[in-house]
Chains A and B, each alone.
Chain A
């Protein structure tokens, strides 16, 4: 969804790059971008000097505190799909879409109480690490790592494709060049300083998003004529804008879908390992929800106010870019564009970190060269990030089409793979390796069938593919686990006993 949104926005601003050059907005944007990338470079180099071991690279030496940690979790989740897509959704449908956030936060709270503390206490480096130890199975680790690499590489294809289209429309840069710039900038700080520099860069990016969006609200409100006038206009335009555009069943389906994907998203879960301790993780999740609340509120208000200013856009996805270029003053507009860029970069960065770690730590380090030194593994991790960053470019240039379906399905697949083995696995001792295998594969297949075949999916049955995938995964996990040999006690003690690593 977020990538179709980006593509539509880009296609709607065809002449923007002409109006950008030689204007105040263009000069200001260039200056802000120079400062922004300068800061990123500085933080990357600082992080690189402090990165020597795998723990440094993949987990920032477990040094991240709650505020930076909260910003990291928020930045990883908030992509351009929020700043562009969700804003456009509010533009078109009004306030009711905001209820989705409760599904997202339910996912975070599930993570905070049922997942994150035990994962952090376990003290590993990756999610496949957890899968391997919890279920006593290196095959399960390999499956999990492979699924992560494949599904997230597909996700990157969509990000790159949409980013290339935006760059063409906004800056007049060819998609390939834009993608190479995105890879060069994001992959550069990712492979240089790993999670340590990424964390502080994402802290900066979160602050930019919060500030840029928040500052835009009073500008639009002032132009719109104030709260009372805006509300009266919106109510007259379409009463559903301030009421219930979506029904409870739809909102529940979307919320559950988002919630499942948050509770079991590997690229979020690996960040728990970088935080100081369990208490830090819980506090970070709380702070992350706070950042999301600020961003979510701003995005909703901006969507509604853009509807007051431009009541009949051809596509709601144009709303954020039109706001940035046509309404906001130069600095605030530039900040918003940098916020959109930050949202893309932070998500790409998080994906590269988790896929790089899956290749280097979980596949190479376990199956190809188990005796590799720390320095060697860090080098392999950096190389993996570099390669994994370039692979999606080829596929993005081919434009295989229907990016939206691929990205939305990818989110559902991840939930169907991992929600049960992670959330239930951390809270039910009886889960076995065979059960986890069956849960991951079965959940994925059920989700695939429901989403893409003639079952009709949500519009016909009112049941989303992720719900089918997770329920199937749960049933298989419980049934197969009951019928197979339990996991050795020494594995379970790590998660359920007193023998806990700190």
Chain B
């Protein structure tokens, strides 16, 4: 039912989301997210991916005195926040363990194309990280944090690789160049062989 709610058109829409991630140590990060929802709902459902070698600890959000109701499935946490008169709802949780990916809670209210603004701010990313090779793409701000500005909310943040490491982005772009060079070489060889055959 919850899955159906995610895939059907729902009246409520996500207007904005501000997500702040603080990476404290190599194995702990705290995520604080607030969502501005337009259109009243009885309750707001969020999905949070369960990632390998991680544990998530939910904190008591100030906007929902009753606390979140959390249901687990093998691949997801389903979080229900009770209805309130406020348009903005928030959630805080800690992520412990493998921090290569940090899950982000995705509300069942979809974004509005061209209007929704998603801001993800990450503090504690290494200064030598290749921000553009992470997911989503990050940009370094003056205060040293890394920021992503999007129109759709991703399922998680993938921490960018360190400078000097070969990321999948670089490998695939290099692959395109190599393929183009190979194709050109093959075509030139074929033309050369054809012209030699015609000369003979």
Contacts and interface: CB of A to CB of B under 8 A. Distances in A.
B3 interface: yes
A14 B114 contact: yes
A67 interface: no
Contacts of A326: 136-137, 150, 152
A229 B51 contact: yes
Contacts of A24: 132
Contacts of A322: 152
Interface of B: 3-4, 6-7, 13, 47, 49-52, 73-76, 101, 106-108, 110-114, 132-133, 135-137, 150-155, 158, 168-170, 172-173, 175-177, 179, 183
A488 interface: no
A219 B174 CA distance: 12
A12 B113 contact: yes
A239 B76 CA distance: 12
A310 B111 CA distance: 11
Contact of A238 (B7, B108, B176): B7
Nearest to B112: A314
A314 B110 contact: yes
Interface in A1-51: 11-15, 24
27 contacts: A14-B113, A211-B176, A215-B175, A216-B172, A219-B168, A225-B52, A229-B52, A232-B75, A233-B155, A237-B75, A238-B3, A238-B7, A239-B3, A311-B47, A311-B155, A312-B108, A313-B111, A314-B13, A314-B110, A315-B113, A326-B136, A327-B135, A329-B170, A330-B173, A331-B172, A331-B177, A332-B173
B156 to A, nearest CB: 8
A225 B101 contact: yes
A365 to B, nearest CB: 35
Contact of A236 (B73, B113, B158): B73
B6 A12 contact: no
User: Chain B at the A interface: mostly helix, strand, loop or mixed?
Assistant: mixed
Nearest to A226: B52
A92 B114 CA distance: 20
Ordered nearest first, which 10 A-B pairs have the shortest CB separation? A236-B75, A14-B114, A329-B169, A12-B113, A238-B3, A232-B75, A222-B168, A233-B75, A331-B173, A236-B76
A208 to B, nearest CB: 10
Contacts of A236: 50, 73-76
A238 B6 contact: yes
Contact of A309 (B110, B135, B151): B135
A223 interface: yes
Nearest to B115: A14
Nearest to A228: B52
Interface of A: 11-15, 24, 92, 207, 211, 215-216, 218-219, 222-223, 225, 229, 232-239, 308-315, 318, 322, 326-332, 335
Contacts of B151: 15
Contacts of B4: 238
Contacts of A14: 113-114
Contacts of A313: 110-111, 152
B172 A225 contact: no
Contacts of B175: 215
Contacts of A223: 135, 158, 168
Contact of A215 (B113, B133, B176): B176
Contact of B155 (A308, A315, A330): A308
Nearest to A11: B113
Contacts of A207: 183
Given A229-B52, A233-B75, A218 B168 contact: yes
Nearest to B4: A238
A312 to B, nearest CB: 5
Contacts of B107: 312
B165 to A, nearest CB: 13
B6 to A, nearest CB: 6
B39 to A, nearest CB: 13
Nearest to A204: B183
A419 B28 CA distance: 64
B46 to A, nearest CB: 10
A181 B154 CA distance: 35
Given A14-B113, A309-B154, 17 more contacts: A11-B113, A15-B151, A215-B176, A219-B172, A225-B101, A229-B52, A238-B4, A311-B106, A312-B106, A312-B108, A312-B153, A313-B152, A315-B113, A326-B137, A328-B172, A329-B169, A330-B173
A219 B107 CA distance: 25
A171 B115 CA distance: 18
Nearest to B180: A35
Nearest to B175: A215
B191 to A, nearest CB: 12
Nearest to B72: A236
A238 B75 CA distance: 11
A225 B54 CA distance: 13
Contacts of A219: 168-169, 172
Given A211-B179, A238-B3, A233 B169 contact: no
Contacts of A328: 169, 172
Chain B CB within 10 Å, residue with most, of A236, A312, A322: A312
Nearest to A313: B152
A21 to B, nearest CB: 16
A311 B6 contact: yes
